[in-house]
Amino acid sequence: MLLGGDVDAIAGLLVLRERQPFTIFAPQSLLDLLRVNPIFGVLDPAVVRQVPIRVNEPIQCGAGLTLTLLEMPGKVPLYLETQGATVAEPGPTYAARFDANGRRIAIAPACADINQDVRRQLGDCDAVLFDGTLFRDDEMIAAGLGAKTGRRMGHVPVSGPGGTLERLGDLPVRKILLHINNSNPILLSDSPERRQVEAAGFEVGFDGMEISL
Amino acid sequence: MLLGGDVDAIAGLLVLRERQPFTIFAPQSLLDLLRVNPIFGVLDPAVVRQVPIRVNEPIQCGAGLTLTLLEMPGKVPLYLETQGATVAEPGPTYAARFDANGRRIAIAPACADINQDVRRQLGDCDAVLFDGTLFRDDEMIAAGLGAKTGRRMGHVPVSGPGGTLERLGDLPVRKILLHINNSNPILLSDSPERRQVEAAGFEVGFDGMEISL
């Protein structure tokens, strides 16, 4: 399932190239993005099925799972930005919600702003995997790693005013941060920032994590 | 430097995205291929320089190295093939030759046929890194890994009639196989096939290999 058009959301498809059968669920706009990039022609239509899905229209996606696409505040992919753009250009990004056996989990690897609509959609779940890209909005700049804030990249910061701890901390759901940039100190198990997110009721996701609901 | 248009030759550029300054040397046809795939727009022209190079026209590429692009017999990239094509469609692929301090090395990760022109170009070097994709032309089929021969994929096999051992074995240069598929038994240090290539005067390349000329 594709939730965004940025490199980290779609380039993995190139690793699955050449005769590996699977199905891509994605909004039509993202399937169109694959189509206008000839390199994704390596996904042979004889073995790779592309299924367009629409926001808020649940579909069966196999293994007893019901998938629902949710819209999140986002920005256009980096490579589709206007040359020299200095502020994030609004564009859709998505979250996925899965229902099975009366339990519900959502994954939202990119979210530019936690508004009331986001809170409502995520608060309706048993667990949420949420955008944990940066701890501080300016941490890339402060560390000399880049010139952009998190918000400029379409990611609400974990801390600070309007950040994830403040805006999602009270939701009565299991909250797990993922899509964590390597500049983010919550990756260090003994950092003050890790203690801060855990004290606020959040977990830090890791490779191989298993979640039972 | 880009030597081909297939995923394994160009997708690495996506890993270098976002503000990392470097230069891409490539024939114009490959730069055009990047241009028609909008996802490569992540390579910001403000920091990534694209330099078209022509076959057999040496250029200085930095660090005292002279780069010369060589043309090899090849096929069109998989994703540009005619749908349902059963034989390889001829298309250019390239090798790179580097000259420095009076020594010369060539890298040819894809070559569909070792003709006299290939022999002449590679025989003129001190060392050659050459396409070692498959040991036997039909090994992917025999192992149930795919329906294509090596030649169908644009790679001359290491063994057999017209193969690399037969056609390059007598060249008085250091010969190192690379671009080795995971089905190729020369990857196993104790295999009969490894002994066969070493007895024929070839080395098997490995990650981190250093070559002194």
Check A11 against B36: CB less than 8 A apart: no
A17 vs A121, higher pLDDT? A121
Task: With residue A130 as reference, give the H or E element that holds it.
Answer: strand A127-131
Q: What distance in Å separates the CA atoms of residue B21 and residue B82, rounded to the nearest whole number? A: 36
Mean pLDDT of chain A: 93
* Cα B48 to Cα B3, B53, B137, distances in angstroms: 18, 16, 39
Quote the minimal CA–CA distance from A158 to chain B in Å. Answer: 22
Give the model's pLDDT for residue B35. Answer: 95
Check A39 against B37: CB less than 8 A apart: yes
Say what percent of chain B tops pLDDT 90.
78
- B-chain CB neighbours of A33 within 8 Å are 38
B10 — pLDDT class (breaks 50, 70, 90): very high
State the ipTM, two decimals: 0.85
Residue A16 has pLDDT above 90, yes or no: no
Interface of B with A (CB under 8 A): 7, 10-11, 14, 17-19, 33, 36-42, 78-80, 146-147
Residue of A nearest to B16 (CA): A7
Quote the minimal CA–CA distance from B77 to chain A in Å. Answer: 9
Candidates A15, A30, A39: best to mutate against B (most CBs of B within 10 A) is: A39
Structure tokens at A44: 């042979």
Check B7 against A42: CB less than 8 A apart: yes
- Ranges assigned E (strand) in chain B: 22-26, 48-52, 59-62, 65-72, 93-100, 103-108, 127-131, 174-178, 202-204
Cβ-proximal residues to A173 (8 Å cutoff; 6+ apart), any chain: A122, A123, A125, A126, A127, A128
Q: Which among A159, A150, A97 is positioned nearest to A122, based on CA atoms?
A: A97
pTM across the whole model? 0.87
Structure tokens at A15: 């690793």
- A-chain CB neighbours of B41 within 8 Å are 78-80
Residue pLDDT, tens place only, A50-72: 999 999 999 999 889 999 999 99
Give the model's pLDDT for residue B116. Answer: 95
Q: Any idea what DSSP says for residue A166?
A: H
Structure tokens at A43: 């996904």
Residue of A nearest to B42 (CA): A79
Between chain A and chain B, the number of residue pairs with CB atoms below 8 A apart is 53
Give the model's pLDDT for residue B165. Answer: 98
